[in-house]
Amino acid sequence: MNSPIRKLAVFCGSASPPDPRYCDLARNVGAELARAGIGVVYGGGRLGLMGALADGALEAGGEVIGVIPEAMVSREVANRNCTELRVVANMHARKAQFTELSDGFLTLPGGVGTMDELWEAISWAQLGYHTKPVGLLNSFGFYDGLLAFTRHMVDTGFIRPAHARILIAEHELDMLIERMEAYEPHQPIFQMKASDL
């Protein structure tokens, strides 16, 4: 069993969808993580689900570390209320900080940027760049299609059996955290023989 999770990199959208459930979800997740003693590492923005996540965690007394590229700071979307706000050169540096600072990755609903972060976390786990759990909170069935497509990639052989359980998906946060803390790292590609690939 892995060590308890003390900080999670949380990926989520910077948009505010018309359906208020999404921002409410992010705020509640931030608060629940704070109450569980889990710090939030996130994209450092004050808008959309990102801002709601940070607000929820801060209001509940939690630690919030924002990591934001310089270009976004100049556009005035940085959340200056974070416990700590780290300004980095670019998106690559931001994702490297997410990996360095966290004990795992949690994905909430979001768009293209959120998908980029999620898939990189999975890809890096497959390769062996990290051995941290990658969780997906599938609230409101938002990721049903993504999970079906992931199963399709497994069934067709594009995701190896050894890596089929990297992505941990649940509808409820407490169950997801429990499974993430129990995550056993798989055999990474870097340790496989050519005949296994």
- Average pLDDT, integer, range 20-48: 97
Gap between the Cα atoms of 29 and 47, Å rounded: 16
In this predicted structure, the answer to whether residue 25 has a pLDDT above a threshold of 70 is: yes
**132-172 pLDDT, tens digit each:** 999 999 999 999 999 999 999 999 999 998 899 999 999 99
- Average pLDDT, integer, range 97-126: 96
Domains of the chain, each with CATH number or no CATH:
7-184 (3.40.50.450)
Task: Specify the pLDDT at position 1.
Answer: 44
In this predicted structure, the answer to whether residue 16 has a pLDDT above a threshold of 70 is: yes
**87-100 pLDDT, tens digit each:** 999 999 999 999 99
In this predicted structure, the answer to whether residue 2 has a pLDDT above a threshold of 60 is: no
